[in-house]
Amino acid sequence: MTELSPARLRPGDLMRVGGSGIRARPLRAVLSALGIAIGIAAMTAVVGISSSSRADLDRQLAALGTNLLTAGPGSTMFGEDATLPDDAVPMIKRIGPVTAASATGTVEDTSVYRTDRIPKAQTGGISVLAAQLDLPATVGAAMASGTWLNAATGRYPAVVLGATTARRLGSVPAVLIGGRRYTVVGVLQPVPLAPELDSAALIGWDAARTYAGFDGHATTVYTRSKESQVSAVQSVLAATANPENPDEVKVSRPSDALKAQQATDNTFTQLLLGLGAVALLVGGIGVANTMVISVLERRAEIGLRRSLGATRGQVRAQFIAESLLLSLLGGAGGVLIGTAVTFAYAAAQSWPGVVPAWALAGGVGATVLIGAVAGWYPAVRAARLPPTEALAAA
């Protein structure tokens, strides 16, 4: 007597059998896949937005350069505010690798108002800075409108507003600085490497001395140097700016501050990824619950298949395939939603849209893993049902 052996299910047959359960209950399948989709979309969007932000930072640094250093007065050994010598900027320009140097100076006890009707207490946090004429070229600033100060306007009551200052004051032809009317000749675009300029009103160095009581001491010196010599210039900048008291000079590299800010953003990104993982776990539980209910509802089908010769392995493979298809349906939807959210947000922020390939691969891998885990127990339970018991229960 010839022993019969069960027919083998080919991969295509297995996918059709697994998909039949999903097609039979489309609403339940969609709701179960939705949990997976939300988790994958959240994680993809978080990674994509973070990567887009980093790409924008890299683009900014590539355009602005990482060779900008700043020097400013610190504190004396007695805790008092120090000052830079009058010749600090000319001395710094003598450093060999330095290609440009410029400065701003804080004009003390002077506020900016749109009109004389504004209460004096409402300064808006706007600072008044005396600026040297070569400042924009040194810090990489560009004009949003109007022109920068020149040899003529730098001597008279003319002012250039930072980006934040212009938003606060609105479109005005002139502002009041220290009770004197200054004509607005230009507005700066945001300056990433010198954000203190965004919330300032900048007047000429000579005009500040003449009309605002400026003492002529620089409070921030901006220095550009050769890319290969930045560290060397940084090591001698304090001693050059103030040879007698180099310890009273603070030296910083603005690009490092931007990178530190990005590191802080990365910490927040990790938190959001954790929340996305929780959503993904909840989605996996939803898939497992759907598969368990599917086994209970389809005992007649399982019994009939077993009676017709299907092995336990084939029944188990059918339900695992169904769980995988269900998870992949949610995962594919989640990846598409997350990618769309990333590119939409990046476009709104004028960032380059970036979704790393590893994030897409990780999203697919996570759905496969969740599908396998969620479908394993229901598949084993279905395979263990005796045919007679399954048909009798039906």
Chain-centroid distance, C-alpha 184? 34
pLDDT at 5: 58
Contact 103, 89 (CB under 8 A): yes
Exposure b/e, 282-294, CB count within 10 A at least 16 = b? ebbebbbebbbeb
What is the reported pLDDT for 1? 47
Last residue of a domain, one of 253, 270, 301: 253
Which residue has tokens 């003319």? 158
Interaxial angle between packed helices 11-24 and 26-64, expressed in degrees from 0 to 180 and rounded to the nearest 10 = 110
Residue 300: inside a domain: yes
Q: What is the pLDDT of residue 174?
A: 92
| 283 and 382 both lie in a single domain | yes
CA distance 293 to 325: 17
Structure tokens at 32: 């179960």
**Domain shared by 294 and 219, yes or no:** no
Distance of CA 393 to the CA centre of its chain: 57
Predicted pLDDT of residue 179 = 85
- CA-to-CA distance for 242 and 252, rounded, in angstroms? 15
Number of domains in the chain: 2
Co-location of 289 and 183 in the same domain = no
Please indicate, yes or no, if residue 194 is contained in any of the structural domains. Answer: yes
Quick check: 219 and 106 in contact, CB under 8 A?
yes
186 within a domain of the structure (yes/no): yes
201 by DSSP, 3-state: which? strand
Q: Do 139 and 196 belong to one domain? A: yes
Burial of residue 277 (CB within 10 Å: 0-12, 13-18, 19+) is: middle
Residue 217 lies in a domain: yes
Q: Report pLDDT for 135.
A: 95
Burial of 318 (0-12, 13-18, 19+ CB in 10 A): buried
Q: Which domain holds residue 140?
A: 67-253
- Give the distance from CA 365 to its chain's centroid: 25
Same domain, 356 and 233: no
Residue 248 and residue 335 in contact, taking contact as beta carbons nearer than 8 Å: no
Specify the residue for token string 């769980």.
323
Residues 264 and 201 in one domain: no
Question: Could you tell me if 47 and 71 lie in one domain?
Answer: no
Given 253, 279, 296, the domain boundary residue is 253
Distance of CA 146 to the CA centre of its chain: 31
Q: What are phi and psi of 215, to 5 degrees?
A: -85, -5
> What does each C-alpha distance from 245 to 96, 166, 217, 253 come to in angstroms?
21, 38, 15, 20
**Which residue type is seen at 248?**
E
> Does 80 fall in a domain?
yes
Q: Is residue 1 part of a domain?
A: no
Q: Spell out the alpha helix ranges (H) of the chain.
A: 11-24, 26-64, 88-93, 135-139, 163-169, 205-211, 230-241, 254-297, 299-307, 312-348, 357-383, 387-393
State the number of CA atoms in the 13 A half-sphere of 301 facing the CB: 14
Taking only the tens of pLDDT, the chain with its 394 residues reads 455 555 566 766 667 766 776 777 778 778 778 878 888 888 888 888 888 887 887 777 766 677 888 998 987 666 667 888 889 999 999 998 999 999 999 998 888 888 766 665 566 678 999 999 999 999 989 999 999 999 999 999 999 999 999 998 888 899 999 889 999 999 999 998 888 999 999 999 999 999 998 988 999 999 998 888 888 898 999 999 999 888 888 988 877 765 665 655 566 667 666 767 777 777 777 777 777 777 766 777 777 777 767 777 777 877 788 888 888 888 888 889 989 999 999 999 888 888 888 888 888 888 888 888 877 877 777 777 776 665 565 5
pTM of the model: 0.62
Do residues 371 and 288 both lie within one domain? yes
107 and 220 share one domain: yes
pLDDT given for residue 331 in this prediction? 85
Task: Check whether residue 42 and residue 71 sit in a common domain.
Answer: no
Look at residue 231 and tell me if it is in a domain: yes
Q: Do residue 264 and residue 194 come from a single domain?
A: no
Contact 259, 22 (CB under 8 A): no
**87: enclosing H helix or E strand:** none
Same domain, 241 and 342: no
Beta bridge partners of 225: 98
Asked whether 101 and 223 are in contact (CB, 8 A), the reply is yes
Q: Which ranges of 140-253 does DSSP label H, i.e. alpha helix?
A: 163-169, 205-211, 230-241
Tell whether 4 is covered by a domain: no
Q: What Å distances lie between residue 321 and 20, 311, 315, 344, 376, CA to CA?
A: 11, 15, 10, 34, 10
- Look at residue 60 and give its three-state secondary structure: helix
pLDDT at res. 219: 93
End-of-domain residue from the set 253, 286, 310:
253
